Each structure stands twice: as C-alpha cells, then as structure tokens.
Structure 1
C-alpha cells in the first residue's frame, strides 16, 4: 500500500469510530468528535476533573451542566435528563483564560519584531506601519488575532486598540472582534497617523470625540460578548491635565480605563494620586518601573494591574529590571497577564504563564537585599502555580471588570470554559491539573472550548472553518499590502 492509500485508509477508519483521528506528534488521540459538537441547549459535561477557581468550591471530579449559555449546576453527579452528554472522564475542565492587554491591531505583523528592541518596536509598529494602516488592515488583524487567541483558550481578551486613525478604523476594529465568537473588551485609544509622537511624548493633544460616537453607536448597552473601555494615554505618554481629561471622558461614558504606566520611568502613578485621578476603574499596564509606594497607591485605590512578563523579557530595554511579578503579588494587587504584542511576543497564554512562573520564582529566590534564606523556605510559598493560574483566569476577569460573569465556575456564571486532555503526553501521568497546565500544557492539549455555553472549538479544532479561512486570507493580503507600502522586504 502506498503512502496516499495508507492515509486514506487511516482517515476512513477514524471517521467510522467515535474518534476524529490521530492528534498531534504527542501521540494523543482526539477524545471528542468535532462532527458531534453539541448544539445549543442543555449540555452535561460528565465525569471531568474540574478546576473551579472558586474559593468557596474546591476542585473535584464531577459534572457541570450548561443551560442557556450559563452554568446551571455543578456537582459530583448531576442527572442528565434531556441534556447532550460529553464524556469528560479523560478531560480537565477549567475556566477560559482572560488576557487583559493586547494590541490586536498588530497581529498581521506577527513575530516580525522577534529580534527588535523596545525602540525598534515603536519605530516600526508606530512610525512605519501604524501611520499607513487602513481600516481593512485593522479588521484583518483583529479577526485573525482574536481568532488565534480563542484557539489558544483565551475566551476573554482586552483589545488595546491605539490605531484610531479615522472613525472607520474604530468601526473595523469593533467588527473584527464581533465576528469572532468570543468575549472581548474593545479598549479604544488614540491614532497613529499622521504623527505618533504627538500622542506619546508628553502629549497635550485632545483625544477625538469619536469615542462618544462609538459608545453610542456600537455599545449603547453594556451586555453582549463585546464591551467597551478606554485605552488612555496615562502619565508616561501625556501631561497630567490630558490624563485627567481622558479619565473624565471615560467616567462620563461609564466605561473603565486601561493605561500604560511605569514602563518608562517611575512617578506616574504618584502624579496621578496627587491629582486625585486614581480609582477602581483603572487597569495599570506594566508598572515595571513603578515604586513600591506607587503599587500601594494602586492597591489603596482599588485599581488593578496587567503585566506582560514574556513580552517585557523579549523586547529588550537597556538596564531594566524584571517584570514585577512578586512585587505585585506581595502587595495583594489584582494582577493579570497579557501578551502585549504578537509582533514581538507569543499570544499563547500557556507560554505567558510558564514565563511568569519562572520570573516570579527567580525573583522570590533572589531578593534585592542581603537577608538570609528563611528556614523551611520554598518558592511556592511566595508564588505558586495556583497563583499563576489565577492570574490567567479569575484575576484576569477581575481586571476586566467581569468577574461576576466569567473567570471561575459558579452557578449562574457564563459557561466560558476549556476542556483539556488529562492524558496528553505533555504531562501524563497526571498528578495535579493546575501544576500540569501551568508547567507543561500548550494549546495542543485543548480538546474543546465553550464561550457563553456554545462550543467554538471541538475535537481540537475550531468549528467555523470558513471563518478561519477568511482570517488567513485577509491577514495575508494585509501583510503583503503593508510590506509593499513601507518598502519592507521579507528575508
């Protein structure tokens, strides 16, 4: 039998079975047949290893019932009734990931800056590509970027969108998010064209009133899978009166604000406190150079933090310290994770979690003083795999302001969840699900993804083939246009 005949025979035998075929090089098999993905209605996930991320509901082996897009019951055993049943005896059931800061508009430039410094990132993405980007490029980037994040298990994403060159750019960004069956927060920022420096170098520019139109036209109600926030400039980019103006507009519109701060120098958070601007509606992104006093100001204000350890380590900046993993945790801050930009980093939450754990463990075992090692000390007492997983789930949901909707399992919450193979060769034999996921899992371990109770990935494959094909085609066309426009030659 030749190779082609063998493959045909293999596919024929697999489609006749309850499996969909042989999975990846790990040797694991498909557990769920994508042809049998459940339809809308009652779905019972039965006999899974359930990681709840709910402090009042310990992890356990049992059942989870989905009805009308929400978790209707969660218990050791639930009567199936007329529910469609998913046999989860070989699956780990976890809340979907929440990522709290990604410049999704840069997704068609993926890994272009794998060897860039921070200065090169700004020079290329802002001053070269950002100024020539069309609305259709923003749509293509948001479509493939959000779709890929979903494929990696990120059921909620905060899209940090500072590519508002025209109102059409804003509309395209929103539509790109809405065309993906996932939960997103559109954080609307400022333009790049015609001169990015006007917005990032002690800016005195007023942001466009188009944010009011977008709020009214696209987000007149706060429900739905896609909601709105402001991507404010913050004191690292703008003078304090402009920071105050940004915040006042967001607060008038009733939307939260996310700002970059403490990634160029300390002092910005202190300046905001002195101006009476801090509050629980602000997410502070990076805070890498912020002082311990400033971190305490955030905690006192009820604000949250988003850090990007993988990107901050990859995008080199001269003599900058490590991302503030331990410092934020030690102060009890709500701390979540982000990819920042796929032009320089990975959008895979599994990679981000591993890197965050490594950075935190290094910081924990290498304090910046001469104290001696405490008796019976271990790194997990300072930063554990559980804490990292919290950052990727419930802490992320708190940062995005949707912890009542998602981020953990509880009756009444949205059924945003992942099913991962418990016997994947990456971590088999399984000891502890959280340790295995944070320490060894990757996107190839995901068997299925549900958002608001609907399966969007099943049998290890995104369900909407047409949407995937469209995203790939548009991303390729956009990349080719942008490269031609700026005279970039691929190596």
Structure 2
C-alpha cells in the first residue's frame, strides 16, 4: 500500500540538475508521488512515517535495461563459459528443462533479487519460450514481485505451442504477444508487455521488419541484442535496418560492443538507446563495453547485469565496473603517449547517472522516474552506512564505490516500500529459498532428458551455421521489398 513517508537525515542525490544534492536532506512521499525534496530543516510532516537515512545516501531507484529473470534459478551456470558455450548450453538444454511452474518461480525470484539490490525497474529480456503457458508464467512472476518491469517478449521462429519451426511458429508467437499486450494495458500495471526482436539474422529480414512495425503500431518499447559479438556478423543488422528506414526512436540496442562508427552514428541520429552489460561483455568475449564511444556521439548509456547465472544481481557492481574500466582505458591511452595521467574524465555521479537516470530515459519513463524530483513517482533507494566503521567524507563516492547489495536498506517502488531495514517486505524469504531449491532440483531432473552439452567442435559448427544463416537472412534486406518501397542503391 502507498502511504506518506519522510526520508530524512541523509545525503540526497537527486540527479535533477535543477535541484542538485542535499547534504542533510529529506524527501517527502505521499500516495506514490514525490511531494517535496530539500534540506532537512525545511521539510517536516508530522503525519508521515519516518525513515531515518542519517549517514546514508538516498538515490533514485536503479534501472536495469537488460536482465534475463527466466534464468534466476540456475545461478552460477555461466560463470566459466564463453558466449557461444553459454548460449548453446542455456537455450538448448537449461531453459527447455524449465517447466511452467519454475518459469514463474524464476521470474518471481529474479525480480525479487533485483529489488533486494535496489533495482526498481527492469527490462526483462525473456526468450526461448516453448509454449504460451511458459510466457504467461514469466509475466505473472514479474507481476507478483511488485517490481516495475518491461516484459520484453523475445521473438524467434522456434517451435511454439505445436506450431512447427519457421514462419508458422513465428506468427504464433506474434499473435500471442498481441493477445498479452491487449490483456495487459500498461496504464493499469507496473508491468508493461513489450517486444524484443528476434536476434537479427536468425530469421528472414522480412520478419524482422514486421516485428519492428508491430512494435511501432502498438506503441511498444522495442529492444534487440545488437552487434554483441566482435569479429562476427551474429546479431548485427543495423545497416540493413537503416537502409530500410527501420531504426526507430527509442529503440534499445543491447551490448553494442561491435559497432562501427557509422552504426553508432545511426543510433544517435535516430535517437536510439544503448544498454551495456559490462561484466558479461567482458567475460564472454563480446568486446570492450562502449561507454566513451556512446558519450562521444551524444548517447547516454544505460547499464545492465544481463544474467545472474553468470554475474551478481546488483547494478552497483556494474556502475563501479563501468566507471573503473573506462578510467583504465582512458589512463592507458595517456600511458601509450608515454605521459602520466593527470585527471579523470568521469566521476561517481556519472556512474550513478548511467545506472539510474539514463536507464529511466532508455525505457521511456524519464518523465516519471530516474531523478528525485517533486511530481515524479517515488522509486527510491536508501543506501545505509551502518555496515561501515566510519562515516564518509564523501557520501556519494561511498555510495557508488563502496556499497554493495548488503547496504541497500530501503527500497520503494511507486511509493510502496519493498525493502525496509535490509529485509524484503511482505515475503517469507526462507520459504522462497526452499521453493527455489526445489525448482532447481526439478530442472536438474528434467535436464537428464535433454541433449548433452555441446562439445567444442559442435560449438564451432554452431557458430559457423549461425553466421551463415545471418548472412543469408540479412542479405534479404536488399533483395526483397520489406519496408515500403524497399532499399534502392543511390
């Protein structure tokens, strides 16, 4: 239930450029809305529930623009795997071994662990559904958690509800997506049904074009895994989309570690958004996360964890990794000139912005969340200093560079408290742990019926086939009239 709260005593980082920060600040929340923000001596409300934030930091709720909650029950799976090993193992074995009940449980657990870490909004990039029941189960799991989410239904042409592989299955998926979208009006729920493109190149280009047009006609947020594997054509297709006028404003391009200058300029020109998965990009061989390249072209990057099977579920670690990796790259550029670095271009406020305000803008909610501004919805996080032995000489620096999920004391979504005093509210955590343990055991049992894990030779063949299909499907952008008049060389 929403109520009236006064968060008072701590450092308030509004990220609203017109307001600035308040060293000893207060935030008044009523009926889900931020009513006021200011210095502690200027705000009071005798009828509000007090949340003492002394020595801590209040920030906007964090926004993760690419998170696979359907994999939350299989934590640790991708810890030592490269991308192709992980993809083949996950999509050919582990996800098919996940039943409907456990798909819902995984989404629920994955969303709760995000809330527990101070992430109040996610794009749930959900893929590899084999039935309507699986898709609707994941959507229900998100709703039960109380998180703000975009259920980005992942399109493909894999078998679906009895429809055979190919265009029939693709159409069955799109029809079901339309049903879910109609049944879940966005204004009635924190969870919106949106669209994730088929991995570019995995389906005929005409189907990719149809997906983009469907999202446009239904005013849906649309996202895609894009240019995410260096030295490969897999997940590319930006040039083909641009040549057919299919790069739409607000589209969220995920990874983007393999962009050419032309491609990043195309994203900037068409007002696209970029979601960077720092840790998995680095681990799984996708390339160097393009923080500076985005900023150079006027694109404000957002951050994601990608999947908690491989990395920790908190976005604080991704902010820290993004900031320090970019500092390393910048310093190394100076070192290569045989000079000593004398300044840092990016600071902790930049990192915090990447994980909050930029994410809100990326999902199209910058006017509702992302800053602590009167009139916006109350998605807030209080990072406590209780775990530390000393106070902080620079609270914002401590919040970004020193804090972990263990320091997330209070989380509020739309004015509803989801975590308080370091504990999730309204959930029996021990019961959830037991259910998750049982769910993983069921997946293990089902896994025995799945195909064995690919050998290195099979993974190499998997890559060769995927690249061949990508070249064929993307090439169709210039052979068929897929977007109105179609492409015509100058």
- Give TM class, smaller chain: 0.7 to 0.9
1:52: how far off? 0.3
The CA RMSD measured in Å over matched residues stands at 2.7
Give, in whole Å, the separation in 1 of the partners of 2:247 and 2:106.
Answer: 32
The Cα of 1:471 is off from its aligned counterpart by 3.1
What residue ranges of structure 1 are gaps of 5+ in the alignment? 1-38
Q: Do residues 310 (structure 1) and 276 (structure 2) align?
A: no
Q: Is the contact between residue 281 and residue 287 of structure 2 (CA under 8 Å) also seen in structure 1?
A: no
TM-score normalized by the length of structure 2: 0.84
After superposition, residues 23-102 of structure 1 pair within 5 angstroms as 40-60=2-22, 61-76=24-39, 77-102=42-67
Cα gap change, 1:442 to 1:53, in 2 (>3 Å): same
Contact 2:156 2:198 in 1 (8 A): no
| Residues 51, 92 of structure 1: 8 Å contact kept | yes
> 2:362 aligned with 1:396, yes or no?
no
- Counterpart residue number, 1:362: 328
Match of 1:167 in 2: 132
Equivalence for 2:262 = 293
Structure-to-structure mapping, 1:308-387, within 5 angstroms: 308-315=277-284, 317=285, 321-367=287-333, 377-378=342-343, 380-381=344-345, 383-387=346-350
Q: Would you say 1:405 and 2:368 are equivalent positions?
A: yes
Where 2:288 maps in the other structure, the secondary structure is: coil
CA distance in 1, matches of 2:81, 2:167: 24
Q: CA shift at 1:101, angstroms?
A: 0.3
Deviation at 1:472, TM superposition (A): 2.2
Structure 2 partner of 1:188: 153
**Judging changes above 3 Å, is the alpha-carbon distance between structure 1 residues 212 and 422 closer, same or farther for their aligned structure 2 residues?**
same
Q: 2 CA distance for matches of 1:247 and 1:482?
A: 34
Q: Residues 204 and 84 from structure 1, CA distance in 2 versus in 1: closer, same or farther, beyond 3 angstroms?
A: closer
1:198-232 Cα shifts (integer Å, max 9, x gaps): 99999995543100100011x22434211121011
Counterpart in 2 of 1:474?
Answer: 435
Task: State whether residues 335 and 341 of structure 2, in contact with CA within 8 Å, keep that contact through their aligned partners in structure 1.
Answer: no
Moved more, 147-156 or 157-166: 157-166
- Give how far 1:234 is off: 4.5
Aligned match of 1:116: 81
Which of 187, 191, 195 aligns to 1:226? It is 191
- Matches of 2:31 and 2:368, distance apart in 1: 14
Q: Following the alignment from structure 1 to structure 2, what is the Cα–Cα distance between the partners of residues 437 and 481?
A: 39
1:200–1:294 Cα change, 3 Å = farther
Q: Which blocks of at least 5 consecutive residues in structure 2 are unaligned?
A: 453-490
- Deviation of 1:281 (Å): 2.8
The 3-state SS of whatever aligns with 2:145 is coil
| TM superposition score normalised by structure 1 | 0.83
Shift of the alpha carbon at 1:285?
0.2
Alpha-carbon contact 1:65-1:72 (below 8 Å) kept: yes
Counterpart for residue 114 of structure 2: 149
What secondary structure is seen at the aligned counterpart in 1 of 2:406? helix
Q: CA deviation at 1:314?
A: 2.1
Residue by residue, what CA displacement relative to the aligned partner does 1:17-59 show, whole Å, maximum 9, x if unpaired? Answer: xxxxxxxxxxxxxxxxxxxxxx742211122210001111110
Quote the Cα distance in structure 1 between the aligned partners of 2:239 and 2:82.
28
Determine if contact 1:143/1:179 at 8 Å carries over to the other structure. Answer: yes
Aligned-pair distance for 1:239?
Answer: 3.7
Q: Which residue of 2 aligns with 1:106?
A: 71
> Is the contact between residue 131 and residue 193 of structure 1 (CA under 8 Å) also seen in structure 2?
no
Contact 1:202-1:236 within 8 A present in 2 as well: no
SS at match of 1:93: strand
